[in-house]
Chain A
């Protein structure tokens, strides 16, 4: 076995060498990348392109025949009120859960970042526990916790005199989506808190000291010292949290199944329902149609992410000038 350019970083690259020689010399590198590239190719890249292809088909899955129907699926998606409902709810989900999750976890992270707080590791562990638990199980358990029939939450609220009679949190169209959002924030709170804690630990301790010696108040310390240092992390955390808020299938499906009357149906549930025909009423699975909905929604998310990125860049440029 030959050793490919092991020390290339230490020694300057020899100029007179053809590309093929370099590739041949590094052949083991390509062999090592192969298994991973095959897996990502199959389960990440192929699906992205295949979704586009399926979106132009009338296809009910398995061995059923695929008929090319052009833009018909997209036209139908545009005219479907349930699609727009799910579309709107997915964005409501994101716009409500992301700020809530980021702000609350930042507050707790700042509290727990205090080294003098002896119980901080214990609190951190407690806040993190929901993150590691199986989402589908959490959803099922929560459907009992929020049950109107003597479920613990209703019992506590009624016993405390806050409610006169139990609320059907998951069974009424007014509260179902909000309850799921609340549980979602609770479930993933811990992960955002860890992101914040990791970011806070990059703030050098002597900065605090220097600020204190200058007589900076606590709010000033946060506003002028910690906050600016957190901004680059905050952008990454925002992105991760926003993408996370689109991955809600397990929780919504197990808590409400999108109901009642589609009032909590988000995009992933809509896609699942139309693709695999589990909406009841003996509906036929429509993989082509569901792909069109997914592709359209994916595009919308991408455009919004790009706009967000441009806005952030614009803001920075203005601040710099």
Chain B
């Protein structure tokens, strides 16, 4: 593989007009090697979608991905009997609420850090940066206790708050970087028109930061939709509040022979996020690349 990578670079003696034709065989070979690798790479997802449309007996009967007959009833069974419908709704509510909370709080924080100088600013930034690399799993016990202490263990609000409070520090830094690069003339005009601090932010600066809002919203959607440990711990005593990830984990324990129903539930969970990714890929990639460049 390593040699293919290097050989696919154009040799230096080739002039521009040889650029295409000269290196084509190498690129074709590279592509021909990568295509089957990519197929196996996403095979588990193809297998899941295919299993969701097969009958229970057919799933482990062979390697073929195309079902003999499409069994849409698997989805209906998962949706109602296994309560995936309710878990889906819970997950949507948690994801949407946490995205709203995270976008509002991190944009406000990033705005003042990126555009103003005030006493204590360096301390705040220093502390935030120090916690970027804190693994989440080791703080679960205090978070669990805190949510219980606030009396939120019996509601979705507890999960929403926990999900929103988990990881937004990198988002703050994304907003800080973006706002600090915007020219100052922008808000000067608004101030001359008599706009106050809040209006400058809300009507001038926030609309300008749409690309970062999109990136943060998508990254947080990913985080909230896929979170497992926090909703698992917070819903141990309340099965009706489970998210999809937790619900399907419990599903395996309860209906362990209903493979096609489980595959249907898994498809319901991962398909929306894959589709979102395919359409909003640019923002995903920017959000992740931004983490390295900060």
Residues of A within 8 A of B (CB): 1-10, 13, 19, 22-23, 25-26, 28-30, 32-33, 35-37, 39-40, 42-48, 50-51, 54, 61-62, 107-108, 110-111, 114, 116-119, 122-123, 125-130, 132-138, 140-142, 144-145, 147, 149-152, 155-156, 159, 186, 191, 194-195, 197-199, 208-209, 211-213, 215-216, 218-219, 221-222, 233, 236-237, 239-240, 243, 246-247, 249-250, 253-254, 268, 271-272, 275-276, 287, 290-291, 294, 297-298, 301, 305
A287 touches B145 (CB 8 A): yes
Nearest Cβ distance between residue A39 and chain B, in whole angstroms?
4
CB atoms of A247 and B292 under 8 A apart = no
Shortest C-beta distance, B37 to chain A (Å), equals: 9
Specify which chain A residues have a CB less than 8 angstroms from the CB of B116 in the assembled complex: 4-6, 8, 26, 29
Are A140 and B252 in contact, with the CB atoms below 8 A?
yes
Q: Which residues of B contact A (CB under 8 A)?
A: 1-2, 4-12, 19-20, 23, 27, 30-31, 34-35, 38, 41-45, 47-48, 51, 60-63, 101, 104-106, 108-109, 111-113, 115-119, 121, 124, 128, 131, 133-146, 148, 161-162, 164-166, 168-169, 172, 184, 187-188, 191, 196-198, 200-201, 222, 225-226, 228-229, 233, 236, 244-246, 248-249, 252, 259, 262-263, 266, 269-270, 273-274, 276-278, 281, 284-285, 288-289, 291-293
A216 to B6, CA, bound (A): 12
CA A119 to CA B244, docked complex, whole Å: 34
A149: B residues at CB distance < 8 A: 60
Contact B137 A22 (CB under 8 A): no
Give Cα distance in the complex from A135 to B222, angstroms. 11
- Asked if residues A123 and B38 are in contact (CB atoms below 8 Å), the reply is yes
- Contact flag A33-B141 (CB < 8 Å), given A150-B60, A218-B6: no
Q: With A and B bound together, what is the CA distance between A155 and B269 in angstroms?
A: 27
In the bound complex, do residue B226 and residue A133 qualify as a contact, i.e. CB atoms below 8 Å apart?
Answer: yes
- Please name 30 pairs of A and B residues whose Cβ atoms are closer than 8 Å in the assembled complex, sorted by A: A1-B197, A1-B198, A19-B119, A26-B116, A32-B109, A33-B112, A33-B124, A35-B109, A37-B124, A42-B161, A43-B162, A43-B165, A44-B166, A47-B141, A50-B142, A111-B1, A114-B27, A126-B38, A127-B41, A128-B284, A130-B42, A132-B226, A132-B273, A135-B228, A137-B244, A138-B44, A142-B44, A149-B60, A218-B7, A275-B140
Q: Which of A23, A50, A136 contacts B145 (CB 8 A)?
A: A50
Given contacts A36-B105, A51-B142, A218-B9, 7 further A-B contacts (CB under 8 A): A9-B184, A26-B116, A40-B169, A114-B27, A117-B8, A136-B248, A218-B7
Which of B131, B138, B197, B236 has its CB near the most chain A CB atoms (within 10 A)? B138
**Is A145 within 8 A of B109, CB to CB?**
no
Taking a contact as CB atoms closer than 8 A, the residue among A32, A114, A141 that contacts B108 in the complex is: A32
User: Do B137 and A249 touch (CB < 8 A)?
Assistant: yes
**B residues in contact with A36, CB < 8 Å:** 105-106, 108-109, 168, 172
A110 close to B5 (CB less than 8 A): yes
Given known pairs A36-B108, A44-B165, A133-B274, the reply for A28 and B198 (CB within 8 Å) is yes
Cross-chain contact A51 with B139 (CB below 8 angstroms): yes
Closest beta carbon of chain A to B174's beta carbon, Å: 13
Q: A29-B116, A40-B169, A250-B245 are in contact. Are A116 and B44 (CB under 8 A)?
A: no
Q: Which residue of B lies closest to A214 (CB)?
A: B12
> How far apart sit A208 and B10, CA to CA, in the bound complex (Å)?
10
Interface contact B146-A46, CB-CB below 8 Å: yes
Residues of B with C-beta under 8 A to A8? 116-117
Number of A-B contacts (CB under 8 A): 317
Among residues of B, the one whose C-beta sits closest to the C-beta of A4 is B116
Residues on A with beta carbons closer than 8 Å to the beta carbon of B20: 116
Q: Which residues from B are CB-within-8-Å of A136?
A: 226, 228, 245-246, 248-249
Is the beta-carbon distance between B43 and A152 smaller than 8 angstroms?
yes
B44, B60, B143 — which one has the most chain A CB atoms within 10 A of its CB? Answer: B44
Alpha-carbon gap, A216 to B128, bound state (A): 44
Q: Which 4 A-B residue pairs are closest in the complex by CB-CB distance?
A: A43-B165, A212-B12, A1-B196, A26-B118
What residues of chain B lie closer than 8 Å to A119, measured between beta carbons? 31, 34-35
A112 to B11, CA, bound (A): 17
CA distance A250 to B136 in the complex (A): 12
